[in-house]
Amino acid sequence: MTLGSLYIVSAPSGAGKTSLINALLDTVSGIEVSVSHTTRPMRDGEVNGKHYHFVDTETFEQGIKDGLFLEHAKVFENYYGTSRSTVQARLEEGVDVILEIDWQGAQQIRALLPENHSIFILPPSIEELERRLTSRNQDSKEVIIRRVSQAKADVQHFTEYEHIIVNDDFDKALLALSSIFECKRTERGKMQLRQKDLLANLLAK
């Protein structure tokens, strides 16, 4: 058993997953998000190594052949993948690691690492999802239509997850997300590892 726990957080594009995770990192310590590799172009304001590891298609496909990824998927013609060695190292160091991935990647992770906790974030409605995607001013109307269509397909997989959070009220959604992390840390097995010195002191004769 490792000290850290592995979390999968998935959501359709526009549900507010990234905003919730960023807020979580500001309020709960000992958590970090695994930085995925991707072949998609870097957007304005993004930093290589912070938001993603940006690589070309040839490099990514070689990584697949070499078994460097815990999971990988192709979404909207671009590859996304999670580094196997980085995640395993951080878990062994006692850090709770979030994989911000889609349902395809989640299925792969469950097959390889069944000891994980999974969370699916839903938007309050398709209309609100479309409004959020439009307000970003990042994509064309055609791309937004495609993302909404993909979102409807993604939502079909919510039953594969342990926890479901509806991001209607941001503060309430953040509280629900934080509660999942805090609750998992109190499980006996985790506490015995994290608080072994304290327990040894309390149980000493």
Q: Check: CB of residue 184 under 8 Å from CB of residue 190.
A: yes
Which range is least confidently modeled, 1-10, 37-46, 165-174?
1-10
What is the chain's mean pLDDT, rounded? Answer: 91
Q: Is residue 104 part of a domain?
A: yes
Q: Is residue 1 part of a domain?
A: no
Would you say residue 32 has pLDDT above 80?
Answer: yes
Report percent pLDDT > 90 for the chain: 65
> Confidence band (pLDDT; 50, 70, 90) for 175?
very high
Which residues constitute the domain of residue 93? 6-203
> Confidence band (pLDDT; 50, 70, 90) for 2?
low
Would you say residue 28 has pLDDT above 90?
Answer: yes
Q: Which of the pair, 192 or 33, is modelled with greater confidence?
A: 33
Q: Is residue 198 part of a domain?
A: yes
pLDDT of residue 41: 92
Q: Which of the pair, 173 or 133, is modelled with greater confidence?
A: 173
Q: Is residue 181 part of a domain?
A: yes
Q: What is the mean pLDDT of residues 116-126?
A: 94
Q: Is residue 68 part of a domain?
A: yes
> Confidence band (pLDDT; 50, 70, 90) for 6?
very high
CB burial of residue 20 (10 Å; 0-12, 13-18, 19+): buried
pLDDT of residue 166: 96
Would you say residue 138 has pLDDT above 90?
Answer: no
Q: Helix 141-155 to helix 126-135 angle, to the nearest 10 degrees?
A: 140
How far is it, in rounded angstroms, from Cα 70 to Cα 88? Answer: 10
pLDDT of residue 23: 97
> Confidence band (pLDDT; 50, 70, 90) for 9?
very high
Would you say residue 1 has pLDDT above 60?
Answer: no
Number of structural domains in the chain: 1
Q: Is residue 41 part of a domain?
A: yes
pLDDT of residue 190: 83
DSSP output for 70-138: EEEEEETTEEEEEEHHHHHHHHHTT-EEEEE--HHHHHHHHHH--SEEEEEEE-S-HHHHHHHHHHTT-
Report the CATH number that the domain containing residue 50 is assigned in CATH.
3.40.50.300
